[in-house]
Amino acid sequence: MSKETGGPAFPELGNVGYNSDWQSESGMTMRDYFAAKAINGILSDPDAGLLDDDLNRYAVIAYRTADAMLKARGQ
């Protein structure tokens, strides 16, 4: 992926199989986490309309917001 993702949002160790070594499982990225938080706020607006044609636009706005948040963090 060419976009900076900010790294894992909730990194943890996970067992990859029975009697195997533990390894890091990164889960979602900070970019996805920030976008999820942004879209929650966007869609909670009762005036948002939520027409099918608008959903892609809201997703784009959420990821643009996430990218701005990563930039503000110095990523």
Which pLDDT does position 1 carry in this prediction?
42
Question: Considering its fold, how many domains does the chain have in total?
Answer: 1
Phi, psi of 20 (to 5 degrees): -110, 170
Phi, psi of 70 (to 5 degrees): -65, -40
Whether 46 maps to a domain, the answer reads: yes
pLDDT of 63 strictly over 70 = yes
Residues 12-52 have pLDDT tens digits of: 666 656 656 666 666 788 899 999 999 998 888 877 666 66
Q: What pTM does this model have?
A: 0.67
Strand segments, DSSP code E, in 1-75 are: 12-15, 22-25
Whether 47 maps to a domain, the answer reads: yes
pLDDT of 9 strictly over 90 = no
- Domain extent at residue 55: 29-75
